[in-house]
Structure 1
Amino acid sequence: MSEPDDLGGQLLITPAGTVVVSTDAMLASVDRLRALEAALLIDIRRVIAADAIADGLPITGITPRLERLRDRCERARDAFGRMAENYTRLESAIEQAQRDLAAMIAAVVGPAAFGYLMRMILFQPHVLIAGALIGWAAIPDGPDGKLGTVRDFMIAHPELITSPEFVRFVSLVATSIDDAVLGGMGVPPWLVALPGFDLGRDGGVAAGAMTVAALGAMLGMFRETSVAVDRVSTHPVTDAPTGVRERFDRIPEVNQVRIEKYEADGMPPRFTVYVGPTETFSPYTDGEPWDLTSNTYGVAGLQAGSFRAVELAMAEAGIRPGDEVVLTGFSQGGLVATMVAASGDWNVVGLETHGAPAGNIPLPTGIAGMAIRNTDDLVPALAGPQLEHDLMQVERRAFREGVDIPTIEAAPAHQRSGYEATAAAIDDAESGAIREQIDALDTFATDYLDRPGGQATVMTFRATRE
């Protein structure tokens, strides 16, 4: 059930195979109207049959009234569909206009900014370093140093980065970095702003992430390494998760990968893989592969350390290419889970992500599950707008307009607590579209435990950079 003090907004749903956004309440109403239509159709047939044998009973006129009522249900259902289509069409037009304007601005400003930065890095790095040091020195020391001062400021002012408007700005920036690069290469701004003129089918998000990685590498950041994986524990588990919240609760921390193996007599094994979130946000590589380097490489479509670690863990757990797999991940874990599903190297039949910067990754069709995002969470926006709809998209504002945003942690809309509330709201959803996806992932594991010989084993893995 949803938390009694839930601060979030309504659920917005984009079913698989469409680009139409609807609320859970609207889809639930459509489901009820469809059920009422079917019931009325059955009643009409019964009345017609009764009329044929009534022999004078006073039922004349009932059938036309039932037909009119059924027609009203059908027209109401169609009206809901048109409302959703018009809303989506308007939102898409606004977003496209904003992206085109952002591309034009980036292409105009890009050459000067990009050229100045490159000259500083190549010819006057001391000036760049001096400027960075002066800026760093201007930050006052707090109880936990300068980083603590920055952290405390962001925690005290969560509204600065917790709003759908800021998230949209971040998304526009993510799709405009490649435009700035093109402008820096001398491509005319009017050409850069043309629809479809991007470095990739994802609106240039991957190209922009590659640019960030390349620039950071000049300063010793974003250096990828080899990774190693160790199995930390193996033990039986007696139950399978049911519902989005229970799956979310099994996403690990510290030991970044959890794999559950389900077996039943006469059946091939099934596996559920849970991938944890980012462990460190330092751009400098150390022993932790769930870091900012893996985030950047993952959005860029490159071989991120965390992605390679998950594949190593899957192989160590005994998952073969033909075995059915369901993946669940939070934040970077959702990005990595999406990369595994998109790789084509594994038989992924289900995927559930929470707050993942993975909107620029195309997925194969036929995968059950949901991509879940809080619309006031900036992290998913780092991958730009959602460009594919082969997986159901479920969105919700973590903190609806007018409520007090918590000042306990930075970026509260991206914290586990924010996604726990969203997961609970999804479990409470009434629409058949969401219930179908929840049931598909629930059944994947529980079905085996209900069979003769049903058993499950959980394995946890810890990955490190070498």
Structure 2
Amino acid sequence: MDDALTLSGGGSTAVATDELFADAARLGSAEAVVADWHERTRVISRGLIELDLSEPAAGPSDLSSPTWSMAVAMARLREASDIAGWLREALTESAERYGATEGAVAAIWRIAGGPLAWLLGGVAVLPGVLIGGGALAGIIAGANALGWRTPLETWLADRRGMLSDPAFVRAVRIAADSTDELVAGGLRVPAGLAVGVGAEIRAPESASIALGVAGLFGTTLGSRFLVDGPVRVSRPIPDGRGDRSAGARAARTDAHPLEGPVPAPTGVADLVDRIPPTDAGAQIRVERYGDPTDPRWIVYLGGTVDFTTTAGAETNDMTSNLHGIADDSALDALRIAGADSAALERAARLALVEAGARPGDPLLPVGYSGGGIAAAALAGDPELDVVAAVNVGGPVASAELRDGVPLLSVEHEEDLVPAVGGSGHPSPDRLTVSRSVLEAGVEYDDAVPAHQLERYQETAALIDASDEARLRAFREQVAEFTGSGAGEMTRWVATRELSPSTPDAARGR
């Protein structure tokens, strides 16, 4: 575990800790101040000469001579300015070199990922993998239903630390972009063709293809495997369920349900603290700030609740997550079946309308895990006036961002979840903050302990304490967006609408 934050992106090719960037900025400021002092000293020295003040009897070389003292001061100030500038350049260069090294390593992984996946697909033989995988999944499901534990689950439990190894996380990030090469290898597609085409098929394209196939099967067989559907939002009642009498109105009304005033968030930690936890009942929280005639909105989106792949009533599930990743691909618009956008994203839009938001109102989406996918999708919509967005532990590397809309993405080094979105592509508007959060040699109960929201809350507090210029600018943007006054908060339960004949229709909220 390390309290140092590593920053990458945000319009810079440098990769380094926030302390290094802050130190380089301080040295730059010191260099400017000392250079100003040097200039002032030069002006004073020149003034002494022009005034033709008499020197002591010993002449200008006398240590008590004003001319001599000014000359010494100028020399020392010039030396201090040069040293500060040299140190600043050295720190910046080290960050640039580290960034270049990281880029080279990532490129090597990407280059090797395609051929390696093709080879593995060819050796494994795709049909056997699919049949064996399906049989294994069935065995595990049956064993779990009987309360038994399979050897595979025992093996994974005994090696749980592997899932949090940074090297394994990097391998998963590359593998997420190489699924098509694996399949091509199993189908014996020539390596050159498979790898060449596969370079253009990454995690979003693979997700879109998978959803298209699932949609066709769902239409034919009536299955809801990875098939999304309409959503609605409602107000929560004390037991956490949705108040279905509220319904989901399509237009703004004069009376908006409020749960009370809330203070404006003062930084990133406040934003992360307000994300609904997975056991909160309501998955969406909306806050309004500013004058009623000129409102500004923050929408907070909770993480994944249902980890199954059959779409049920719960919107925060794997089906919604996969749709959210697929939305980043141009192929997504070409799918005939299963082409709905992510359920949570659509629910967030409905909740904003229900809370009173109008088209064109400034918006700041904040999301955790699967909610981060939806937050990034909202940030990329050109029809919304999104001023900034925050992703906490979500796989958003491939998210298409709008120019000038900053996305602060917080991703722990040992967290497997952000890696499943693939390597993505660089964006000058995406600033990624990472940190190591696990202790070496310590065993954790959770399968992915680095993904816990509590640990991301700790990282958010470190972001607020950082003096790094980009992080400071983001905090200032949030403060300017919300203002100093109180806001109004509402909470919303999102539900996917299912027909009475749909299997598992009662599952979820």
Q: Same fold (TM over 0.5)?
A: yes
* TM-score of the two chains, using structure 1 as the length reference: 0.86
Q: Determine whether 1:199 maps to 2:200.
A: yes
Taking the aligned partners of 1:367 and 1:424, their CA distance within structure 2 comes to 23
Q: Determine whether 1:319 maps to 2:368.
A: no
Structure having the higher Rg: 2
Instruction: Quickly say closer, same or farther: Cα 1:342–1:263, change in 2 above 3 A.
Output: same
- Asked whether the 8 Å contact 1:158–1:412 carries over to 2, the reply is no
Q: Determine whether 1:336 maps to 2:362.
A: no
Q: Counterpart of 1:161 in 2: which secondary structure?
A: helix
Task: Quote how far apart the aligned CAs of 1:153 are.
Answer: 7.5
Task: Quote how far apart the aligned CAs of 1:280 are.
Answer: 1.0
Aligned 1:346-357 pairs, distance under 5 A: 346-357=384-395
Q: Counterpart of 2:200 in 1: which secondary structure?
A: coil
- Asked whether the 8 Å contact 2:411–2:433 carries over to 1, the reply is yes
Bigger mean CA offset, 253-262 vs 231-240? 231-240
- 1:32 corresponds to which residue? 26
- 2:243 corresponds to which residue? none
Taking the aligned partners of 2:3 and 2:168, their CA distance within structure 1 comes to 17
| Count of matched residue positions in the alignment of Structure 1 and Structure 2 | 438
Query: What letter corresponds to residue 37 of structure 1 in structure 2?
Result: E
Q: Counterpart of 1:59 in 2: which secondary structure?
A: helix
- 1:296 corresponds to which residue? 322
Q: Determine whether 1:190 maps to 2:192.
A: yes
Q: Determine whether 1:81 maps to 2:92.
A: yes
The sequence identity of aligned pairs, in percent, is 29
Per-residue CA deviation, residues 393-443 of structure 1 (Å, 9 max, x unaligned), is 11111225x352532x33110011221121121122122221111121122
Q: Determine whether 1:395 maps to 2:397.
A: no
Per-residue CA deviation, residues 194-239 of structure 1 (Å, 9 max, x unaligned), is 5x85235xxx111222344456665852121111111345223141
Q: Counterpart of 1:378 in 2: which secondary structure?
A: coil
Q: Determine whether 1:52 maps to 2:30.
A: no
Taking the aligned partners of 1:130 and 1:182, their CA distance within structure 2 comes to 22
Q: Counterpart of 1:234 in 2: which secondary structure?
A: coil
Match of 1:367 among 399, 405, 422: 405
Q: Determine whether 1:413 maps to 2:450.
A: yes
Match of 2:264 among 240, 264, 268: 240
- Asked whether the 8 Å contact 1:377–1:411 carries over to 2, the reply is yes
Match of 1:277 among 292, 303, 306: 303
Where structure 2 has 5 or more consecutive residues not aligned to the other structure, the ranges are 56-65, 218-222, 237-256, 333-340, 498-509
Instruction: Quickly say closer, same or farther: Cα 1:397–1:129, change in 2 above 3 A.
Output: closer
Task: Quote how far apart the aligned CAs of 1:251 are.
Answer: 0.6
Match of 1:250 among 274, 297, 300: 274
- 2:291 corresponds to which residue? 264
Query: What letter corresponds to residue 360 of structure 1 in structure 2?
Result: S
Taking the aligned partners of 1:13 and 1:367, their CA distance within structure 2 comes to 18
Taking the aligned partners of 1:173 and 1:317, their CA distance within structure 2 comes to 41
Q: Counterpart of 1:287 in 2: which secondary structure?
A: coil
Taking the aligned partners of 1:135 and 1:403, their CA distance within structure 2 comes to 29
Where structure 1 has 5 or more consecutive residues not aligned to the other structure, the ranges are 1-6, 121-126, 450-454
Per-residue CA deviation, residues 15-39 of structure 1 (Å, 9 max, x unaligned), is 4222321211110110110111111
Alpha-carbon RMSD = 2.8
Q: Counterpart of 2:483 in 1: which secondary structure?
A: helix
Query: What letter corresponds to residue 312 of structure 1 in structure 2?
Result: L
Per-residue CA deviation, residues 85-135 of structure 1 (Å, 9 max, x unaligned), is 111111211222122222102223335757415985xxxxxx876554445
Query: What letter corresponds to residue 258 of structure 2 in structure 1?
Result: T
Match of 1:178 among 177, 180, 186: 180
Taking the aligned partners of 1:159 and 1:166, their CA distance within structure 2 comes to 10
- Asked whether the 8 Å contact 2:290–2:483 carries over to 1, the reply is no
Taking the aligned partners of 1:331 and 1:151, their CA distance within structure 2 comes to 24
- Asked whether the 8 Å contact 1:276–1:329 carries over to 2, the reply is yes
Instruction: Quickly say closer, same or farther: Cα 1:197–1:212, change in 2 above 3 A.
Output: closer
Q: Determine whether 1:458 maps to 2:482.
A: no
- Asked whether the 8 Å contact 2:301–2:372 carries over to 1, the reply is yes
Q: Counterpart of 2:387 in 1: which secondary structure?
A: strand
Instruction: Quickly say closer, same or farther: Cα 1:436–1:130, change in 2 above 3 A.
Output: closer
- Asked whether the 8 Å contact 1:178–1:205 carries over to 2, the reply is no
- Asked whether the 8 Å contact 1:154–1:410 carries over to 2, the reply is no
Instruction: Quickly say closer, same or farther: Cα 1:463–1:112, change in 2 above 3 A.
Output: same
Task: Quote how far apart the aligned CAs of 1:388 are.
Answer: 2.5
- 1:105 corresponds to which residue? 116
Taking the aligned partners of 2:133 and 2:110, their CA distance within structure 1 comes to 30
Task: Quote how far apart the aligned CAs of 1:171 are.
Answer: 0.5
Task: Quote how far apart the aligned CAs of 1:344 are.
Answer: 1.6
Taking the aligned partners of 2:118 and 2:304, their CA distance within structure 1 comes to 32
Taking the aligned partners of 2:36 and 2:226, their CA distance within structure 1 comes to 64
- Asked whether the 8 Å contact 1:114–1:180 carries over to 2, the reply is no
- Asked whether the 8 Å contact 2:284–2:351 carries over to 1, the reply is yes
- Asked whether the 8 Å contact 1:396–1:422 carries over to 2, the reply is yes
Taking the aligned partners of 1:158 and 1:118, their CA distance within structure 2 comes to 23
- Asked whether the 8 Å contact 1:229–1:312 carries over to 2, the reply is yes
Aligned 1:405-444 pairs, distance under 5 A: 405-407=443-445, 409-444=446-481
- Asked whether the 8 Å contact 2:178–2:198 carries over to 1, the reply is no
Instruction: Quickly say closer, same or farther: Cα 1:140–1:284, change in 2 above 3 A.
Output: closer
Instruction: Quickly say closer, same or farther: Cα 1:132–1:370, change in 2 above 3 A.
Output: closer
Instruction: Quickly say closer, same or farther: Cα 1:168–1:133, change in 2 above 3 A.
Output: same
- Asked whether the 8 Å contact 1:155–1:411 carries over to 2, the reply is no
Q: Determine whether 1:380 maps to 2:378.
A: no
* TM-score of the two chains, using structure 2 as the length reference: 0.79
Q: Determine whether 1:22 maps to 2:22.
A: no
Query: What letter corresponds to residue 348 of structure 1 in structure 2?
Result: V
Per-residue CA deviation, residues 53-105 of structure 1 (Å, 9 max, x unaligned), is 33341322321221122112112111112111111111211222122222102
Task: Quote how far apart the aligned CAs of 1:51 are.
Answer: 0.9
Task: Quote how far apart the aligned CAs of 1:444 are.
Answer: 1.1
Taking the aligned partners of 1:32 and 1:50, their CA distance within structure 2 comes to 27
Q: Determine whether 1:96 maps to 2:107.
A: yes
- 1:452 corresponds to which residue? none
Bigger mean CA offset, 321-330 vs 180-189? 180-189
Instruction: Quickly say closer, same or farther: Cα 1:238–1:149, change in 2 above 3 A.
Output: farther
Taking the aligned partners of 2:27 and 2:274, their CA distance within structure 1 comes to 37
Aligned 1:97-246 pairs, distance under 5 A: 97-110=108-121, 113=124, 115-116=126-127, 120=131, 132-134=137-139, 145-146=147-148, 157-183=159-185, 187-193=189-195, 198-200=199-201, 204-213=202-211, 221-232=225-236, 234-246=258-270
